[in-house]
Chains A and B, each alone.
Chain A
Amino acid sequence: MRKKKNSEIGVLSQLVKTPSGLIGTIIIALLLITAIFAPILSPYDFSTQNISERLSGPTSEHHLGTDHLGRDLLSRIIYGTRIALKVAIPAVIISLFIGVLLGLIAGYFGGIIDYIIIIILDTIQSLPSIVLALVMLTLLGPSLTNLIVVMGLTLFPGYSRVVRAQVMSARQELYVDAEKALGAKPLRIIAGHILPNVVPAVIILSTMDLPAVITIEAGLSFLGMGVRPPSPSWGVILNDGFSHFRQSPWPIITAGAALAITTFGFTLFGESLRDILDPKMSGMDS
């Protein structure tokens, strides 16, 4: 059996060798660049209105046209990338943190603790995530921070389940028994031996979750429960465009395309990463 290179550079070089991995990596790189350099890249301020030029198609001044308030769509889409990542990355980190923690606890200690945690996970997972997020946002009120927290809280059970399963199987390993016999504390066993084993699975899962979070954010913003105007979330652009799509289809086309490309990029990236890091998981849906 060929030994797997698990260093970061090794993974990346393997990733770009496959076409899907390459495309995914390029898309994500472009997204990150767009998000970081948004102020430099966008030709106009995303909130400056020019009512007399509203709902125009692409022109030499506005490369993607303007929205119903005459705001430059290109600039809004570019800043929209920022919002998508600003929500998705922290939300995934939150769910990662809570999810891994609960998964470790449940898997390692088992018994009644495991039972309670599983009930919590089942309860959350039994509700559709967008509906749960809607309910929580209605109670908390829409804002960027609330959005991030709510998304984090709705998505963590996925991580917990994966981690729990991995921990349970790792717990049976001989070296864990040996470590226990040597008098190691649970914390040491978890941190030193079990956690490293679950990292690949969790990384894959979070890459796959990012596009899901971006889509849910857009969905919630579309419904008016996400970021507040004039923040140019793609969902907001879609919603505004929807009200005027008979006059100009460009807001819908551009925001829809941005959303589609992003989701596509992350999915390709995540799947390729999975094939490299954990071939066992191939064919498993996130």
Chain B
Amino acid sequence: MKNKKLFKGVLIICAILIGLTGCSKEKESAAQKDGPKILKVRINADIKNLDPARRYSRWDDVISATIFDGLVSYKANSYDIENVLAEKFEISEDGHEIYFKLREGVQFQKGAGEVTAEDVKFSYERFRDEKTASAYSDDWANLDHVEVISKYEGKIILTEPFAPLMRTTLPLNSGVIVPKNYIEKVGLDGFTTDVIGCGPYYIDEWQPDQKVVVKKNPDYYGKAPYWDEIQFIVISDNQSAEIALQAGEVDFAEISTNTVDTFKDNPDFGITSNSDLDYRWIGLNVENPKLQDVNVRKAIRAAANVPDMITAAYNGMVEQETAIVAPGLLGYWADAPKYTQDLDKAKEYMAAAGIDSLDLEIAVADTSEYRVWAEVLQQNLKEIGINLEINSMESGTFWEIGDGDKGKDVELFAMAFQMQPDPSWATMWFTSDQVGIWNWMRWANPEFDELHKQGLSETDDQKRQVIYEKMQKLMDDDAVAIWVTNGKTYFAYNAKKCSPAMTPNNSLQFRFFSAAK
């Protein structure tokens, strides 16, 4: 009798336990379904500064674009412009004034107050303020001031019409609105990685060299983005990123041209690519005593075998670049010389320089792409008596070698710059103001500077075309760079989970990323 009771008791307990575990399992799967939708993205370098005026790298750009909103912006997957913070947006006929009226009641994140015309004034004028030391001040080259009409209305007043304004300034990061009061309170140093905007995501967490997490802004005034949380995970090496993608540790990653076929053949993954507008090159520092003579630079350019670099580094899957502005853009120089290896000419230049041997060093960020360029160049230069040492360094170290006077010691370097669809975006980095900032060639040419200014205020496309061709010719004459390729970026993504969005030149628009289609 006792035993029977005990047996019953055990049975009941068992039944309850089974019921409980069953329930909890159901709950778990329900939680997974309803839990936050998290997108994991590979970034190949850590962020440095998310302040729109002082942003640094491509990932600073891409991540801050999820946090900030501007008056206008590009629509998803296109270069068409739509109003975002602006309710009304009108450009005067002479192109000198832009009137805007803000949406009312839009709040900055983390309780930093309402977005007003004062914030607009502050956001744009700080680009021209020396205290901000913005590398992007030329995005607002012709800004005179912003006039505040009322709490929500204002006028952007230009000294002269400004051609890139609607192409690259306003729709991109130089056109976004930052909180005036907050920045005045915390100072510039308090507004680097812990930034506040009024966009669809706010920054939640930054673990240096690990990841950056942005979460959906619950008070966002516009259409809510699909993903609740985006984790940007730092994986500098392409191979590791590809493995992480295959293992499901990331959902979206840039991949190397060598592995495109592997992902293409796998139905679980989607591939997206576009010819880049970016430009990649080997720069020669003209201030360095060894490279001061233009003949030496021309010798190096004539000896370099760029087609070999393309075959070896990109499996031949990209085109050789001939000048700084990419094909298809206003300012593309169609008749630019396409350099192939000519050792006889290279030797003639060496003779003209009166040099028969030289020791040089090329600085590269440690990726297989740049190492391959450098190794090909090393072999090429050996044939004209130049011994090239390859100094490959961790990318963080690399990006600082050109800063200030330190940059005088740089000899050759391998580099890639991002480009936006206006030619001024290519030329602005090589003016004399940029020496010691981004002009690592330290090439200063007054005529180039002057043309750059003209190009900014000229609104006639044909005239601009002439200006930019001329500028590229100046660069070519002085042999300051060996152009390699505009490149082609390939991204692979988990096709069962997400669907990407980007402008036609591969600028990622994470706010428009959606579920798998």
CA distance A92 to B262 in the complex (A): 44
Q: Which residues of A contact B374 (CB under 8 A)?
A: 229
- Check A51–B238 contact: CB distance below 8 A: no
CA distance A144 to B312 in the complex (A): 26
- Of B70-78, B323-331, B364-372, the one contacting chain A is B364-372
Interface majority SS (helix, strand, loop, mixed), chain B: helix
CA distance A247 to B239 in the complex (A): 13
B238 partner, pick from A69, A138, A142, A243, beta carbons under 8 A: A243
- Of B81-89, B223-231, B386-394, B413-421, the one contacting chain A is B386-394
B355-373 near A? 1/0 per residue, CB < 8 Å = 0000000000010100110
CA distance A244 to B312 in the complex (A): 10
B258 partner, pick from A47, A51, A69, A246, beta carbons under 8 A: A246
* A264 adjacent to chain B (CB < 8 Å): no
Nearest-neighbour CB distance to chain B for A70, whole angstroms, equals 8
* A44 adjacent to chain B (CB < 8 Å): no
Nearest-neighbour CB distance to chain B for A220, whole angstroms, equals 12
Closest 6 pairs (CB-CB, A-B): A243-B368, A224-B366, A51-B308, A49-B379, A229-B390, A51-B311
Interface residues of A in 129-143 (CB under 8 A from B): 138, 141-142
Nearest-neighbour CB distance to chain B for A284, whole angstroms, equals 37
Nearest-neighbour CB distance to chain B for A219, whole angstroms, equals 15
B312 partner, pick from A51, A141, A230, A239, beta carbons under 8 A: A51
**Of all chain A residues, which has the CB nearest B313?**
A68
Nearest-neighbour CB distance to chain A for B314, whole angstroms, equals 11
B372 partner, pick from A47, A68, A246, beta carbons under 8 A: A68
* A228 adjacent to chain B (CB < 8 Å): yes
- Check A244–B258 contact: CB distance below 8 A: yes
Q: Which residues of A contact B389 (CB under 8 A)?
A: 228
Interface residues of A in 208-266 (CB under 8 A from B): 224, 228-230, 239-240, 242-244, 246-247
* A86 adjacent to chain B (CB < 8 Å): no
**Of all chain B residues, which has the CB nearest A68?**
B312
- Check B391–A69 contact: CB distance below 8 A: no
B229-263 near A? 1/0 per residue, CB < 8 Å = 00000000011000000000000000010110010
* B376 adjacent to chain A (CB < 8 Å): yes
* B494 adjacent to chain A (CB < 8 Å): no
Q: Which residues of B contact A68 (CB under 8 A)?
A: 312, 372
- Check A54–B311 contact: CB distance below 8 A: yes
**Of all chain B residues, which has the CB nearest A243?**
B368
- Check B375–A229 contact: CB distance below 8 A: yes
Nearest-neighbour CB distance to chain B for A43, whole angstroms, equals 18
* B378 adjacent to chain A (CB < 8 Å): yes
- Check B379–A229 contact: CB distance below 8 A: no
Chain A contacts to B: CB under 8 angstroms: 47-49, 51-52, 54, 68-70, 138, 141-142, 224, 228-230, 239-240, 242-244, 246-247
Q: How many residues of chain B get a CB closer than 8 Å to chain A's CBs?
A: 24
- Check A230–B375 contact: CB distance below 8 A: yes
- Check A138–B379 contact: CB distance below 8 A: no
CA distance A49 to B238 in the complex (A): 24
Known: A47-B379, A228-B391, A229-B375. A242 touches B239 (CB 8 A): yes
- Check B311–A240 contact: CB distance below 8 A: no
CA distance A241 to B308 in the complex (A): 18
CA distance A257 to B479 in the complex (A): 45
- Check A246–B394 contact: CB distance below 8 A: no
**Of all chain B residues, which has the CB nearest A247?**
B258
- Check B391–A246 contact: CB distance below 8 A: no
Nearest-neighbour CB distance to chain B for A247, whole angstroms, equals 6
CA distance A242 to B256 in the complex (A): 12
A243 partner, pick from B258, B376, B391, beta carbons under 8 A: B258
CA distance A49 to B380 in the complex (A): 10
Nearest-neighbour CB distance to chain B for A266, whole angstroms, equals 29
CA distance A247 to B262 in the complex (A): 10
CA distance A243 to B240 in the complex (A): 10
Nearest-neighbour CB distance to chain B for A223, whole angstroms, equals 8
Q: A240-B368, A244-B258 are in contact. List 20 more A-B contacts (CB 8 A).
A: A47-B378, A49-B312, A49-B379, A51-B312, A51-B376, A54-B312, A69-B379, A142-B392, A224-B371, A224-B392, A224-B394, A228-B391, A229-B378, A230-B378, A240-B371, A242-B239, A246-B258, A246-B259, A247-B258, A247-B315
Instruction: Please name 11 pairs of A and B residues whose Cβ atoms are closer than 8 Å in the assembled complex, sorted by A.
Output: A48-B379, A138-B394, A142-B392, A224-B394, A229-B392, A230-B375, A240-B371, A243-B238, A243-B368, A246-B259, A247-B258
- Check A69–B376 contact: CB distance below 8 A: yes
**Of all chain A residues, which has the CB nearest B311?**
A51
Q: Which residues of A contact B376 (CB under 8 A)?
A: 49, 51, 69
